[in-house]
Amino acid sequence: MVTENASILELTNREYKAGFVTDIESESVPPGLNEDVVRLISAKKKEPEWLLEWRLKAYRHWLTMKEPTWQNVHYPPIDYQSIVYYSAPKVKTDGPKSLEDVDPKLLETYEKLGIPLRERAKLAGVAVDAVFDSVSVATTFREQLSKVGIIFCSFSEAVQNHPELVKKYLGTVVPYTDNYFATLNSAVFSDGSFCYIPKGVRSPMELSTYFRINSANTGQFERTLIVAEEGSYVSYLEGCTAPIRDENQLHAAVVELIALENAEIKYSTVQNWYPGDKDGKGGIYNFVTKRGACRGRRSKISWTQVETGSSITWKYPSCILQGDDSVGEFYSVAVTNNRQQADTGTKMIHIGKNTKSTIVSKGISAGHGQNTYRGMVKILGKADGARNYSQCDSLLIGDKCGAHTFPYIEVNNSTAQMEHEASTSKIGEDQIFYFQQRGISPEEAVNMIVNGFCKVVFKELPMEFAVEAQKLLGVSLEGSVG
Amino acid sequence: MANSPFLEIHNLHASVAGNEILRGVELTVNRGEVHAVMGPNGSGKSTLAHVLAGRPGYTVTEGKVLYKGQDLLAMAPELRAREGVFLAFQYPVEIPGVSNVYFLKAAVNAIRKHRGLPEYDAMEFLALVRQKAKLVEIDEDLVKRPVNEGFSGGEKKRNEIFQMALLDPALAILDETDSGLDIDALRIVAGGVNQLRSPERSMIVVTHYQRLLNYIVPDFLHVLVEGRIVRSGGKELALELEEKGYAWLEKEPPPSVGVPAGAH
């Protein structure tokens, strides 16, 4: 009978709906990393000699590197020798698979996750490449896409069927020496998606990759390469989930985008890796390198990310604005609840003249979550008339979480125009009570405030994804008010 | 149950941060009645309003409140709202990023759902908004803006009455709705409230000043002093208060409380 102080409380139960395990027979290499493992992965993929050499160079370089420590996240040392670097569901047939050859259990898994692998009229707007542990298990709508000359396939298939394209572009945006995790990826990457949009073609549908980690103790190291030729356009989506496990699992991916003259790539991510339990046990370490090069004049690369999962997120989708009048965009929502940590942001490197970049970052922290925005805007000496607009907003729920902002700005050209706005706000008890007094539950109140906060980013997402992202955010923050 | 009054407050004691503010409030409100609660600063008027709405931080230490025969204090704030308890806030909070119309649609539908009515779709809701917006002469532009963000004091109060019109409560509690309003805004707000008077709706109008009661004429008036209702009467009591202040009603006058000097 007492109106006890129903303050914004500790986070309790949250529901991770993608946390199931698929019981499927897998073929894995033993844990551990050495040159033989690198050779084995390459051999399994029947790769050409040059690619094996590239992997080995990366591996040898990796041995000389130290894991970075500058990021604002904390985790116990990773034992790289206990990780399984290759795991794939056993397949009966070799070579390119048609959907009929895919294990029904896999189809069922993706069905459960709401990913349409069966090409259905209702969901005809999205082509999917489904990556399960280390391999791509299916790619939909390939024929329809190939009619307009678009190549959309797994990375392994691209190596077999389009080696000249892979060789021409692989590692040109993220070199194998780039950073600790990208270098590791270069040595052991197993699969991923490859996408090539020919000159003047607008992709008739959204392309997407859905990453699923299933096996225990397995790292996922996939590589995505997207090349948009002159005057082409593609919108690309990426989704990720993993089962609930007590151990941390490493996901170290590399994404390279190349946009030539007048080309536009829109890359959207809804990341929902298993975030660990409320005490921070388990969850994915999402240490990812994503970078796009606007090589041609008036080219454009736009990153939109909604990061709700992972125990630790560490990524900076970036744009290298080489072409004159090229445009880079970064729209981000990052949520950290319970014990989640995120250190994320972007780098905009202005090289060409009249290059423009926009950064909109929305960080939401709840529970004991720690959310860091780290961004760099660099204007090189020859980038006359470069412009950047940055906006970093943080929203706190409760009083045990943290928000941190580290904007780096380096300007070497006096004609540059830079704008930076930042804000921090907190969902107050008085706000929650106002909603309640109008009949709205506290959970719904938080949802509405958070969605309002993220609106500008959500509107950058393709329609179906925006709806998905909103729901996901609701689940992620479930129980964040008492 | 059928014969029990609409709202019964018995021996209500409540404290905020360990300080006892309400010290045994007794009040009965029947359906369709408008009760004014007046009193000096710090007498507990707003506390009473907040306790009835279930605001966190207000601890009830003794007493009970029966609303339509149910234990009101046992209900979560949102449940009270869905059961028809509405509080027009003295200081409505700003909610950046959430548009008024989106907020109100969620509120109206939460309440309709609770009452077993079908939820409104966007078109139906907009029609309702247009109709109710006229009542308090609220600009439609205000309806689209984020809840209370950048609203003037008068706009915020109008928005409260607008919400009341939309949510159609059985018990409306107006917490110093007149404070901070100029005479024109007061007339508009009071006009809105008067249009919402109905035999099906009870109201508790909390105010510091008698002037509001020139516009919203109550059926009963209660004077709250030091957390207790010390005097109840008809509307004529307001005039007596206007003339004599509160001091003559206080058994032991607390320091420096006299005729309100229009300090708002």
Q: What is the pLDDT of residues A180-199, one digit of tens each?
A: 999 999 999 988 889 999 99
ipTM: 0.92
Interface test with A, best of B48, B55, B71, B113 (most A CBs within 10 A): B55
- Are B81 and A439 inside 8 Å of each other by CB? yes
Q: What is the pLDDT of residues B155-179, one digit of tens each?
A: 899 899 999 999 999 999 999 988 8
For residue B160, what are the domain limits?
Answer: 7-250
- Are B110 and A2 inside 8 Å of each other by CB? no
**Does a structural domain hold residue B262?**
no
pLDDT at B250: 67
Within an 8 Å CB–CB cutoff, is residue A435 touching chain B? yes
- Are B107 and A442 inside 8 Å of each other by CB? no
Within an 8 Å CB–CB cutoff, is residue A482 touching chain B? no
CA atoms of A94 and B74, how far apart (whole Å): 66
pLDDT bin (cut points 50, 70, 90) of residue A1 is very low
Q: Give the distance, in angstroms, between the CA of residue B81 and the centroid of all CA atoms in the same chain.
A: 12
pLDDT at B189: 85
Q: What is the pLDDT of residues B197-248, one digit of tens each?
A: 999 999 999 998 888 888 999 999 999 999 999 999 988 888 888 788 777 7
Residue contacts between A and B (CB atoms, under 8 Å):
102
Written as six digits, the tokens of A399 are 């009083």
Interface test with B, best of A433, A454, A473 (most B CBs within 10 A): A433
- Helix, strand, coil tally for chain A in percent (to 5): 25, 35, 40
Most confident of A66-75, A133-142, A471-480: A66-75
**Does residue B122 register a pLDDT over 80?**
yes
Number of structural domains (chain B) is 1
A356-366 β-sheet, strand order: A135-139, A126-132, A206-212, A233-241, A264-271, A300-307, A327-336, A356-366, A387-397, A417-426
- Angle (CA) A28-A29-A34 rounded to 5° is 155
Over residues B115-122, mean pLDDT? 92
Within an 8 Å CB–CB cutoff, is residue B1 touching chain A? no
pLDDT at A283: 81
**Does a structural domain hold residue B207?**
yes
Residues of chain A contacting residue B175, judged by C-beta atoms under 8 Å apart: none
Identify each DSSP E strand in A95-205 by its residue range: 126-132, 135-139, 151-154, 193-197
CA atoms of A12 and B230, how far apart (whole Å): 46
Mean pLDDT, chain B, rounded, equals: 88
Residues of chain B contacting residue A435, judged by C-beta atoms under 8 Å apart: 78, 95, 103, 107
pLDDT at B258: 41
Q: Which residue carries 């609660």 as its tokens? A: B37
Q: What is the pLDDT of residues A333-372, one digit of tens each?
A: 888 888 888 899 999 999 999 999 999 999 988 888 888 8
**Does a structural domain hold residue B215?**
yes
Residues of chain B contacting residue A449, judged by C-beta atoms under 8 Å apart: 95, 97-98
**Does a structural domain hold residue B114?**
yes
**Does residue A50 register a pLDDT over 80?**
yes
pLDDT bin (cut points 50, 70, 90) of residue A2 is very low
pLDDT at A90: 66
Q: What is the pLDDT of residues A275-321, one digit of tens each?
A: 777 777 888 888 899 999 999 999 999 999 888 887 888 899 999 99
Q: What is the pTM of this model?
A: 0.80
**Does residue A387 register a pLDDT over 50?**
yes
Written as six digits, the tokens of B83 are 């059961």
3-state secondary structure of A374: strand
Give whole-number Cα distances, B168 to B36, B83, B113, B172, in Å. Answer: 20, 11, 14, 9
Interface test with A, best of B59, B78, B108, B145 (most A CBs within 10 A): B78
Q: Give the distance, in angstroms, between the CA of residue B124 and the centroid of all CA atoms in the same chain.
A: 27
pLDDT at B22: 95
Interface test with A, best of B10, B46, B79, B95 (most A CBs within 10 A): B95
Nearest chain A residue to B81 by CA distance is A439
- Are A3 and B146 inside 8 Å of each other by CB? no
Residues 6+ positions from A205 with CB-CB distance below 8 Å:
A124, A125, A126, A127, A141, A144, A145
- Are B78 and A2 inside 8 Å of each other by CB? no
- Residue of higher predicted confidence among A71 and B49: B49
Residues of chain A contacting residue B86, judged by C-beta atoms under 8 Å apart: 437
DSSP A83: S
3-state SS of chain B?
CCCCCCEEEEEEEEEECCEEEEEEEEEEECCCCEEEEECCCCCCHHHHHHHHHCCCCEEEEEEEEEECCEEHHHCCHHHHHHCCEEEECCCCCCEEEEEHHHHHHHHHHHHHHHCCCCCCCHHHHHHHHHHHHHHCCCCHHHHHCEECCCCCHHHHHHHHHHHHHHHCCCEEEEECCCCCCCHHHHHHHHHHHHHHCECCEEEEEEECCCCHHHHCCCCEEEEEECCEEEEEECCHHHHHHHHHCCHHHCCCCCCCCCCCCCCC
**Does residue B49 register a pLDDT over 60?**
yes
Within an 8 Å CB–CB cutoff, is residue A455 touching chain B? yes
Mean pLDDT, chain A, rounded, equals: 83
Residues of chain A contacting residue B95, judged by C-beta atoms under 8 Å apart: 431, 434-435, 449, 452
pLDDT at A464: 67
- Are B96 and A437 inside 8 Å of each other by CB? no
The residues pairing with B13 across neighbouring beta strands, listed in sequence order, are B23, B62
Please give the biggest Cα pair distance in chain A: 75
Over residues B28-48, mean pLDDT? 93
pLDDT at A4: 28
**Does a structural domain hold residue B245?**
yes
Domain with residue B34: its CATH number is 3.40.50.300
pLDDT at A456: 83
**Does a structural domain hold residue B264?**
no
- Are A437 and B51 inside 8 Å of each other by CB? no
**Does a structural domain hold residue B24?**
yes
CA atoms of A251 and A113, how far apart (whole Å): 19
Q: B138: exposed, middle or buried (C-beta count within 10 Å: 0-12, 13-18, 19+)?
A: buried
Determine phi and psi for B25, rounding to 5 degrees.
Answer: -80, 135
Share of chain A above pLDDT 90, in %: 41
**Does a structural domain hold residue B1?**
no
Q: What is the pLDDT of residues A406-421, one digit of tens each?
A: 999 999 999 999 999 9
